[in-house]
Amino acid sequence: TQPFWNSDRDATQKAPLALSIYIDNSFSMGSLKGNLSLLDIAKGKAADIIGKSGPNDQIQVLSNDFGLNENKFMGRDEALQQLNQIRISARTRNLGSILDKQKKLLSTLPGRRHEIIHISDFQKSQFDLNAPLTDSIRKYFVSVQPTKTNNLSLDTAFFENPSLLLNEPNPLTVRLKNKSDESIQTSLTLLVNGQLKSVPNLELKPNELKTTSLSLNTSVAGDQRITLFTNDYPVSFDDTF
């Protein structure tokens, strides 16, 4: 959607446009929403905006790379080609440095309407919304957000005794971390040599680091194959010890 793009511009808005579009291509923009990355979604939104530009408008496409090829203004077709070249990057920029860059570039095209657009997931560490915005340039901030997922991880697991005792309870301390902003209910499964020993149910509050204790009883001497896991679909890479 383009709530800020109005084809019925009044007389004061008919001067050609100089438009600077910033696309956030930091690592967080690799997160998925459905089958698309946030970067793909951001580029799609930018392409829609560019496609609605006028034949005399000039467009500049900027990413965190601040590449030399991103310093120039261009027409619609060339801007779309520039947009398609943006890839995920290890570079990050704060809001102030991005706005400074855009303002300097826009100042090279006097006599045009100046507009700035940011398309990002707006990570708090990168975008200080207290940055000074007190100038006459119109600015639009378009947010793209990933599909929300809960992430529960096994943080630590250890036995209180350095060696297991046969036919006696062996306390196993487990710490789990809820990395989401919502409460999570889960089960914690303990397997010993492939046999199910314990499946307690747990509830973790938002962002809670929870410590619990399991009891392992074995009658077999020697090495033990112990597996501890929880169920945290769809983020499952950190669910098993």
Higher-scoring residue by pLDDT: 232, 137: 137
Share of the chain above pLDDT 90, in %: 44
**Phi, psi (rounded to 5 degrees) for 29:** -75, 0
Q: What is the pLDDT of residues 161-216, one digit of tens each?
A: 878 888 888 888 888 888 878 888 877 778 787 777 767 788 888 888 989 888 88
76-84 helix and 38-51 helix, angle to the nearest 10 degrees: 180
Say if CB 111 and CB 88 are below 8 A apart. Answer: no
What is the model's pLDDT at position 11?
A: 38
Q: Is residue 162 reached through a cis peptide bond, with omega within 30 degrees of 0 on the bond before it? A: no
Query: With bands split at pLDDT 50, 70 and 90, how would you rate the model's confidence at 47?
Result: very high
Q: How far is CA 184 from CA 125, 203, 237, in A?
A: 26, 6, 17
Q: Mean pLDDT over residues 147-156, rounded? A: 74
- 12 has pLDDT over 50: no
Under a CB-based contact definition with an 8 Å cutoff, are residues 15 and 113 in contact?
A: yes
User: Using 50, 70 and 90 to split pLDDT, how confident is the model at 232?
Assistant: low
Number of C-alpha atoms within 13 angstroms, CB side, residue 78? Answer: 11
The residue ranking higher by pLDDT, 165 or 238, is 165
Predicted confidence at residue 149, as pLDDT, reads 62
What integer is the mean pLDDT of 42-55?
96
Reading the block at residue 127, the tokens are 């975008």
Q: Give the Cα separation of 148 and 179 in Å (integer).
A: 12
CB 193 within 8 A of CB 220: yes
Transcribe 193-226 into DSSP letters.
Answer: TTEEEE--EEEE-TT-EEEEEEEE-B---S---E
Query: What is residue 192's predicted lDDT score, i.e. its pLDDT?
Result: 80
